[in-house]
Structure 1
Amino acid sequence: MPRPLAPTYQDRRWELPPDAVVHHGTIDDAVRLLTGRTVTALTGAGVSTDSGIPDYRSPDSPKRAPMTYQQFVADEAFRRHYWARNHVGWQVVHRTEPNAGHRALARLEDRRVLRGVITQNVDLLHEDAGSRHVIDLHGRYDRVICLQCGRVISRAHLAERLDALNPGFVESVLDDGATVADIETAPDADAVIEQTSHFVPAPCEFCGGVLKPEIVYFGENVPRERVQRAYALVDDADALLVAGTSLTVMSGLRFVRHAAKADKPVVIVNRGETRGDPLATIKVDDGVTETLVALADRL
């Protein structure tokens, strides 16, 4: 079992300045502001909670400290621990279906109101719902990359190899009568499993190198080209709609800052405070799914 994980970005706390001005509004206010404008959406884990994937901060979310890139590449024990948990968790995410909020954004794109989606999620539920122009800012759960030769393979193919190396592992971590759907799993497909020391990871079958999910870890940079495409998508719309993210890390907050600096209207939909609230033209403190559905029905 690896030593306790070091603090990461996810453990950092922030508070809005006491003098921060937040312009709270309703769905009606958001509709009035966005009517007649094209929109780019920035989404986070809160968009997928109604699909059964917990976010990072709600009371029902698994208590966890996400592994950093530095830990993953430097320590075989960390890699073993991660792959054991991911071998279960990816199956949970793989079986998840998009919810009405995902489908609402796809409808807005079909009507050319929505230019596209920048998502911090790796679950591919926007694509599954029918969205065509999606930037998966932090990568995607269904692909794996070799850090040595750069080959990319599907997570499903790796699952076959891991099953062969670890027969019966998934069944061994389930309680009597339980299925993988009953395992607590975080948005990055990291399942809450403690006994992992006996798990056997698989090396790259082409060069023997270290395999890593094609997901941006904490401490790892989002590829520059991907960031530039995201900025361009913000620039291409008249307004920015932020949904289901507290904007704790700069990875998403920078696009809110970019839109605000360009004097574009920003609508934030999230239950609870977000780090971007002072930059919002309107903050709607309400359920994400129902708000997105209402916007799709009325815009």
Structure 2
Amino acid sequence: MYGDPALAKLTDRIADGGVVILSGAGLSTESGIPDYRGETGRRRRAEPMTYQTFIGSVAARRRYWARSHLGWRHVARAAPNAGHRAVTELQRRGLISGIITQNVDGLHQAAGAQDVIELHGSLDRVTCLACGRRSSRALLDQRLREANPRWDAQDAAINPDGDAVLADDQVEAFHLVDCRDCGGVLKPDVIFFGENVPRPRVEECYALTERAGTLLILGSSLTVMSGYRFVRHAAEHAVPVAIVNQGSTRGDAHAVLTLDTPLGSTLTALTALTARTSAIDP
């Protein structure tokens, strides 16, 4: 791996600093969290919850929260992997000027990264659709346990974003809870498919992208416009784009280099190589 010419070129770009990271689900698969479209995603048939379905049906919300109540425990137990730790180390050295993540698992922060923009929100927060109050997922987990003392669903297959596979009778036996303040509908503080990322958050990401020395994509197929737009924005502003992902991506045509390799080992090697570069050329 250390002799890979593409890795050497990426090392030079990282060593120049000013790197903005855009990370996707592929960065977290080595932590045991599956993705929708990468190598793990191709082995399942997960259909993500849409915003319209969630708000339009009590049955849909029951299904979501029952599955998520069980699956979230899997996400909450996940630990940062070598890729997350490498990103944190590069940020510590001052080579990374910003981190945008499409992930909702909080693993960048768990690895010690600072000032992470969570493009799609985070599973560890809950919001009320009526009054807007935010609360912790841990508190909701406690309330749901109290509301379902005899619910005996067992760990099953875990789909992306902490969505567990449950039988219909297990879902139907699950009891929901509402907002403690106003009785409104509770929703995870994440952006569902069909829902828009808040405009100020998007503008912050655009501005960060424009100032980047390199936009580095980590573990994203860029299939969804939510992330792909920043690659297009970088290209429009002559900001070089580099991609490390297992499999091709929608943004490959905009990239100055691509690496189709596992994230953890590649980023670990990149961290070691940039350290050597700094030592040779202080």
State TM-score, norm by structure 1.
0.86
Match of 2:12 in 1: 32
State the SS of the aligned residue for 1:264. coil
Letter in 1 for 2:18: T
In 2: Cα distance, 1:110 partner to 1:188 partner: 28
Letter in 1 for 2:224: V
Letter in 2 for 1:267: A
In 2: Cα distance, 1:103 partner to 1:233 partner: 22
Give the Å deviation of 1:164: 1.1
1:72-83 alignment to 2 at 5 Å? Answer: 72-83=54-65
Match of 2:71 among 77, 84, 89: 89
Tell me which moved more, 56-65 or 74-83: 56-65
Match of 1:44 in 2: 24
State the SS of the aligned residue for 2:126. strand
Letter in 1 for 2:149: P
Matched, 1:210 2:210: no
Letter in 2 for 1:294: A
Matched, 1:111 2:93: yes
Asked whether the 8 Å contact 1:122–1:187 carries over to 2, the reply is no
Aligned length: 267
Give the Å deviation of 1:58: 4.2
In 2: Cα distance, 1:156 partner to 1:37 partner: 37
Give the Å deviation of 1:34: 3.4
Match of 1:68 among 24, 31, 50: 50
Letter in 1 for 2:70: V
Matched, 1:54 2:27: no
Aligned-residue RMSD, C-alpha? 1.5
Match of 1:187 among 133, 142, 160: 160
State TM-score, norm by structure 2.
0.91
Match of 1:162 among 144, 152, 161: 144
State the SS of the aligned residue for 1:286. coil
Give the Å deviation of 1:57: 2.5
In 2: Cα distance, 1:250 partner to 1:78 partner: 25
Match of 1:200 among 175, 179, 187: 175
Q: Percent identity at matched positions?
A: 50
Match of 1:267 in 2: 242
In 1: Cα distance, 2:26 partner to 2:38 partner: 9
In 1: Cα distance, 2:52 partner to 2:11 partner: 44
In 2: Cα distance, 1:196 partner to 1:229 partner: 39
Match of 1:240 among 208, 211, 215: 215
Match of 2:262 among 260, 272, 287: 287
Match of 1:252 among 220, 224, 227: 227
State the SS of the aligned residue for 1:142. strand
Give the Å deviation of 1:25: 6.3
Give the Å deviation of 1:265: 1.2
In 2: Cα distance, 1:187 partner to 1:297 partner: 31
Q: Tell me, which stretches of 5 or more residues in structure 2 are unaligned? A: 275-282
Asked whether the 8 Å contact 1:123–1:187 carries over to 2, the reply is no
Give the Å deviation of 1:223: 0.6
Asked whether the 8 Å contact 2:39–2:246 carries over to 1, the reply is no
State the SS of the aligned residue for 1:278. helix
Letter in 2 for 1:63: R
Give the Å deviation of 1:29: 2.3
Pair 109,36 (structure 1): closer, same or farther in 2 beyond 3 Å:
same
CA offset digits 1:189-223 (Å, max 9, x no partner): 21111230111110111111100000100000001
In 1: Cα distance, 2:40 partner to 2:209 partner: 32
